[in-house]
């Protein structure tokens, strides 16, 4: 439902943009109203995104982590027009419920950072399970940043706290102009 609402809002925005660019002789008042509709459409799309992201952890109980993260990636791509991919080779029974929630929230925070700061043209989410570890990586091709200046922000502190609560570690790799890679690594349930 959220995806359909976001798509409808995006269509309204695109149509109003088209009218603005392809209708000669618009009065200043008409242009102001069109600009207002575009701004409201953008706010609506962002609000739908926040709502859909905030309610989605319930999906973990019904669909599991793979399907929930696949949905999150798809929804992010549709709403924000930033292509995203999701791949996973993990087994659902290799994660506790708490781990699933923390994986989801770290992924969610990372995607929020991509949207707010990265200016990325694509993002990927991968979960890789080996015989003894489980790793979640979120990678974007955005503008990157100097990790030494951002490592203590509230977003990263929250993600590190979530990682620590499941005996994991959070690694952030980034440099100016080279994108960002955020990885959570923890022991698989078979090693706990």
pLDDT in tens, 94-115: 688 889 989 999 998 999 899 8
* Tally of CB atoms within 10 A around 30: 13
Q: Look up the pTM and report it.
A: 0.72
Task: Output the average pLDDT for the chain.
Answer: 86
pLDDT bucket at 188, cuts 50 / 70 / 90: low
Q: Where are the beta strands (DSSP E) in 39-122?
A: 84-88
Please, what is the Cα angle at 50 between 47 and 2, to 5 degrees?
80
pLDDT bucket at 145, cuts 50 / 70 / 90: very high
Most confident of 31-35, 50-54, 85-89, 91-95: 85-89
- Assign 184 to helix, strand or coil: strand
Please, what is the Cα angle at 110 between 105 and 114, to 5 degrees?
145
């Amino acid at each position: 439902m959220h995806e359909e609402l976001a798509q409808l809002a995006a269509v309204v925005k695109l149509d109003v943009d088209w009218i603005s660019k392809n209708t000669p002789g618009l009065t200043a008042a008409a242009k102001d109203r069109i600009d207002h509709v575009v701004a409201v459409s953008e706010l609506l799309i962002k609000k739908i995104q926040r709502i859909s992201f905030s309610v989605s952890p319930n999906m973990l109980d019904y669909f599991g982590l793979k399907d929930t993260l696949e949905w999150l990636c798809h929804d992010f791509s549709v709403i924000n027009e930033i292509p995203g991919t999701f791949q996973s080779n993990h087994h659902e029974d290799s994660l506790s419920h708490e781990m699933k929630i923390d994986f989801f929230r770290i992924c969610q925070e990372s995607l929020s950072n991509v949207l707010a700061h990265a200016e990325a043209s694509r993002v990927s989410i991968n979960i890789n399970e080996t015989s003894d570890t489980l790793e979640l990586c979120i990678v974007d091709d955005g503008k990157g940043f100097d990790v030494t200046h951002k490592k203590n922000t509230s977003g990263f502190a929250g993600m590190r706290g979530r990682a620590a609560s499941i005996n994991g570690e959070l690694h952030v790799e980034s440099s100016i102009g080279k994108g960002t890679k955020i990885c959570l690594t923890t022991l698989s349930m078979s090693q706990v």
